[in-house]
Amino acid sequence: MSSSSDFQQDRHSFSGSPQKWNDFELPGDTLYYRFTSDMSNTEWGYKFTVTAGHLGRFQTGFEILKQMLSEERVVPHLPLARIWEWQVGVACRQTGHQRLKAIHLLLKIVQCSAQRDCDLTLLKPLWQLFTHMENNLCYDMAKPGILLPLHRALAELFFVTENRVTELGTLQEYLLALNTEDHLHRCTAQ
């Protein structure tokens, strides 16, 4: 099986028992296959299933949303409030690169949304993570003075979001919603 008719690109060859076969992905929208029998067996052959794309794949969804959020004429037609909720949930549950990509999409949504589009108070768990990182100064020890990627991403998200709510005149409500009562008491005491 291959993604090219000459069987030179993305080639996958299988032979023998079904246990030797494994799932694989081919780029593009066309699959070329060739079945050759050596006549050593009288079974009916092989069966395989081809599925177009993979619904739910993180990278695919990320690329589609990123592209849609980059198109000014598309943004007004998107259910931004629902996308916002989903992405905040993804950013809270995922780790590593997937979390960074979710934060990237949140940043794009903040930049292109109106006040009614997003419940910014949903960022509270990410704000708590960010303030925890700020309090513990999570620096990459291999590069002194350089923030870890997650710390940088959250700093940018909250910087842009704070500027956005300042423009909208809702900064006080936003800050009160993100912080706990205990945190506000500590700040007042300081």
What distance in Å separates the CA atoms of residue 60 and residue 137, rounded to the nearest whole number?
Answer: 34
Question: Is the predicted pLDDT of residue 56 greater than 70, yes or no?
Answer: no
Q: Which contacts qualify for 88-97: CB closer than 8 Å, 24 or more apart?
A: 88/122, 88/123, 88/125, 88/126, 91/126, 92/125, 92/126, 94/58
Question: Is the predicted pLDDT of residue 94 greater than 60, yes or no?
Answer: yes
Give 189 or 105, the one with higher predicted confidence: 105
Residue type, 102: A
Average pLDDT on 176-182 reads 82
Question: Is the predicted pLDDT of residue 151 greater than 60, yes or no?
Answer: yes
Residue-wise pLDDT tens digits, 129-148: 998 888 776 454 555 555 68
**Per-residue confidence (pLDDT) for residue 115, from 0 to 100:** 57
Residue type, 28: G
What distance in Å separates the CA atoms of residue 168 and residue 56, rounded to the nearest whole number?
Answer: 35
